[in-house]
Amino acid sequence: MAVYTHVDAEEISKFLASYDEGEVLSFKGIAEGVENSNYILQTTKASYILTLYEKRVNPDDLPFFLGLMDHLVHKGRLCATPVRDREGIILKTLCGRPAALISFLSGLSINKPEPEHCYQLGVEMAQMHIAASDFNLKRKNALSVEGWEELVRQCENRADEVAHGLKDLLHDEMAFLKSNWPTNLPEAIIHADLFPDNVFFRGDKLSGLIDYYFACNDILAYDIAICLNAWCFEGDGSFNITKAARLVQGYGVERSLSSQEIIAMSVLCRGAAFRFLLSRLYDWLNQVDGALVKVKDPTEYINKLKFHQSVNNVSEYGFSL
């Protein structure tokens, strides 16, 4: 979440007039995230997230994102709900941007996840994968191998401004992943962005997943690899095997991983680290003046990628065949 498009009180009040969600009491921009403009909105009825979809989001993808959220809620999953206006419309326009009102999901993100948080994440992620399996829309992952190649081209000339030798690292890793990316693993809809700030807890109990705007059809185990990168590294850069093992144990409660998925985990983790290294690098090199957004340091994912490059056996992730 972030704020690129600034909206005033009058514009929000006019937007809300087509809903039965009360009158505006307060609203505030949210700086976290990178893709869209987001406001937390308090009305006389409830709290909501107002999202304006920015230029990097393909408007043709929005029915998939919002429809998926609606589908998951109706399947009983812990997910925020797109709100319909009086005419039953979810997707509208505000300040020249596609916009939607989303129910506010209570809970807090965890800054320092413990193994039990990772276990609960694994359980909920698998339940989400299962619940989404009969959703009737599909979306290709725009940030898989082909997308990575394009990002490398866009960033390579300035990559060494961020870290010495990064340009060569990008080219070498791109060549490896293009040659070794698995093509025969189970695929379905994945979240693709389950970082701690997109997972809420109330006390020690997981209360929901948010921000489905990277969701797509891709390798199911790749979603796990993204989480291993996001949840299982400590502040000093070390990999926490206990957290990784608990995350996969939780996932396995609902959906068992095949031996092929486990064997592929090192490559999947390299791909996940590379994907976020590239997107963070692009954002770092192309910061938007005046935007309320916290640009994330890409070097964190250089170090994570190098760890995965050094892995020789899945036991180093705490897994066993």
Q: Specify the pLDDT at position 32.
A: 63
Cβ distance 202 to 191 under 8 Å?
no
CATH number for position 13: 3.30.200.20
Beta-strand relationship, 187-190 and 37-43: unpaired
Query: Tell me, what's the pLDDT at 224?
Result: 98
Length of the chain: 321
Q: Assess whether 124 and 173 both reside in one domain.
A: yes
Owning domain of residue 56? 9-103
pLDDT at position 231, please? 98
Query: How far is Cα 286 from Cα 210, in angstroms, rounded to an integer?
Result: 26
What is residue 289's predicted lDDT score, i.e. its pLDDT?
Answer: 65
Do 98 and 145 reside in the same domain of the chain?
Answer: no
124 and 209 housed in the same domain: yes
Residue 108 lies in a domain: no
Residue at 202 is within a domain:
yes
Same structural domain, 164 and 283: yes
Final residue in a domain of this structure, among 60, 76, 103: 103
Distance of alpha carbon 155 from alpha carbon 249, whole angstroms? 37
Domain end point (choices 63, 78, 103): 103
Are 51 and 196 found together in one domain? no
Mark whether 16 and 64 lie in a shared domain: yes
pLDDT at 293: 58
Does 4 reside within a domain? Answer: no
CATH code: domain of residue 166: 3.90.1200.10
Do 84 and 137 have their domain in common?
no
Number of domains into which the chain is organized: 2
One domain, residues 249 and 299 = yes
Note the pTM of the prediction, 2 decimals. Answer: 0.91
Residues 87 and 200 in one domain: no
Residues (pLDDT < 70) of the chain are 1-3, 31-34, 288-294
Asked if residue 123 and residue 98 are part of one domain, the reply reads: no
Is 96 part of a structural domain of the chain? Answer: yes
Residue 159 lies in a domain: yes
Nearest CA-CA partner of 101 in 11, 225, 12: 12
Alpha helices in the chain (DSSP H): 9-16, 62-74, 115-131, 145-155, 166-180, 220-231, 241-254, 259-263, 265-285, 299-310
Do residues 19 and 126 both lie within one domain?
no
- pLDDT tens across 132-143, in order? 999 999 999 999
Q: Judge if 48 and 155 occupy the same domain.
A: no
Q: Write down the pLDDT at residue 34.
A: 60
